[in-house]
Structure 1
């Protein structure tokens, strides 16, 4: 009875696998295995799959601390995200995929009602993020420009005028214009817009509504209600309309969350959507696609925005690009069940 062998097995059972163990399993050098595990180009696809399978079988995990100390690079992209935004959550999912494909990982820092952008960004820098991907930042352009001197800044979703920063966004004014075009094509003339509050994104979408209404000869029917990016704002706007002398035939909301609030208020009041009134959102977030909402909206191409944002960060970090770049994607109207012919 070999108690010694059993004891050795027990003692080694919880030993953390090393890079050398993975290399021995596949018969490659530790350098080659390291290239695969760090996502660096070079090894063939067959080699990459062998290494990844061996690492998974052994339960090997990259020691990020040791890797960082050895390379003096963290290979981390810091992402600032609004914890209340379903669209930001979807962007983060696509950012993770895009970052992993080029050998980077993400650090997330959240915006909340009590946690501002400065705090979120300071946290990202404290974790040695090499570049900052800021989702819908509201800080002034000059503040963001100063921040770019500390780490490359890529702003997502917001237009930055006259600032030497990388920007990835959709043409928000054009997206709202597509909504108005769609509604006018259905015979709507009394089209109300629920605003998104302050900030560049809200300004661009509001301008898109006004411009499109004037283009269709409806300038005298422009009506903008105060709002923001929450369901509560949509509910307040809908109740205001319900208390008025006559409902419009369509409501366009700043984003999908606001539009869902509008829908909720109309449903409770027994107002048929789209039978009596049409409702449109913006963002095409995950909630808008649920069958209980089936919301007509505008897609911002979250996957494409994420891919371009990561590409911009890698170009700044690994390819020494210094000239700022703006990528403007064309939004796309998604027609679902909350719009119909005007009554």
Structure 2
């Protein structure tokens, strides 16, 4: 059967379509008797107003747009969990799109989300230029997660990536490692910040930094680990990976090469996703409180939407080291 429409409800209740629209918007202009007649007809027909159509008609949206840089990365999925919990408790719904780690696709995804006229946007790990973000913020409140911004019209939620990378290096040095290589996140969000933290910490300990270009994916981690095996002699005894996904790829490549983790090479990730906690992986990593980040992003958005706040909010969370089974003392 075709989805019932407002016209169907109006015909069943014996009223005009305009009156049905008023009832669905909870307008006080409708009498109790007519309201009850419309709601009864809607229930009998199984009619439910479409959230997008309702927001377009009333110009009061209950939709929040979410652009996810990479749907394959569980880090973003766990942030969305936090976003969704707050949104639902406050009567909002999420529309999710992905940028596929491509600037061009992200730009299109943001424009697509704006076409729904959402009450606000959350951009997770966005790589689009600041000018695109500023343009989006002119149309709806925007919160960036895992991305810095100096725009006064945009709120941000981040962890201190520099401090997180420093903690990782300190941990490895305390175990006795001196040959420590960083697989960076390429042009990914926060990659440069983590790289600076790694380089600074290595120099603080009087060690020579070594960085291999990589990305926030498992395939890039595997590729970078392969390059490491070809270029370094002797091999490094520890790897600081760009993120958990990258670390898992590196561990896979090391395993295929006959090297043991952590007996031959220690590996540390970043994010503490559900992937890192799996018993078969047991990845030492830096914890970012993903659901908390999602909660803070949703609350910041709602403050702009409902309270009219105009001053930017900058949440900077402190990362914590989670030690599991992929780090140990260096081989002799």
**TM-score class, shorter:** 0.7 to 0.9
Q: Does 1:158 align with 2:147?
A: yes
Q: Does 1:75 align with 2:75?
A: no
Aligned counterparts of 1:113 and 1:137: Cα–Cα separation in 2 = 8
- Structure-1 residue corresponding to 2:283: 295
The 3 A distance-change label for structure 1 pair 129 and 291 is same
- Structure-2 residue corresponding to 1:55: none
- Structure-2 residue corresponding to 1:8: none
Aligned counterparts of 2:173 and 2:321: Cα–Cα separation in 1 = 14
Aligned counterparts of 2:168 and 2:156: Cα–Cα separation in 1 = 24
Aligned pair partner of 1:259 in 247, 265, 275? 247
| Secondary structure, aligned partner of 2:190 | helix
Aligned counterparts of 2:182 and 2:158: Cα–Cα separation in 1 = 22
CA contact (8 A) 2:51 2:62 kept: no
Aligned counterparts of 1:93 and 1:168: Cα–Cα separation in 2 = 15
The 3 A distance-change label for structure 1 pair 273 and 314 is same
- Structure-1 residue corresponding to 2:21: none
Aligned counterparts of 1:250 and 1:227: Cα–Cα separation in 2 = 16
Aligned counterparts of 2:152 and 2:53: Cα–Cα separation in 1 = 37
Unaligned regions of 5+ residues in structure 1, if any?
Answer: 1-13, 19-33, 36-58
Aligned counterparts of 1:137 and 1:329: Cα–Cα separation in 2 = 18
- Structure-2 residue corresponding to 1:323: 311
- Structure-2 residue corresponding to 1:233: 220
Unaligned regions of 5+ residues in structure 2, if any?
Answer: 10-24, 27-45
How many equivalent pairs are there?
297
Instruction: Tell me how far 1:253 sits from its aligned partner.
Output: 0.6
CA contact (8 A) 1:171 1:330 kept: yes
Aligned counterparts of 1:64 and 1:269: Cα–Cα separation in 2 = 53
Aligned pair partner of 2:202 in 200, 205, 213? 213
Provide the TM-score with structure 2 as the length reference.
0.82
Matches for 1:1-343 after TM superposition, within 5 Å: 64=51, 67-68=54-55, 71-81=58-68, 82-112=70-100, 116-161=105-150, 164-218=153-207, 221-243=208-230, 244-343=232-331
Provide the TM-score with structure 1 as the length reference.
0.79
- Structure-2 residue corresponding to 1:30: none
| Secondary structure, aligned partner of 1:327 | strand
CA contact (8 A) 1:76 1:104 kept: yes
Aligned counterparts of 1:146 and 1:159: Cα–Cα separation in 2 = 16
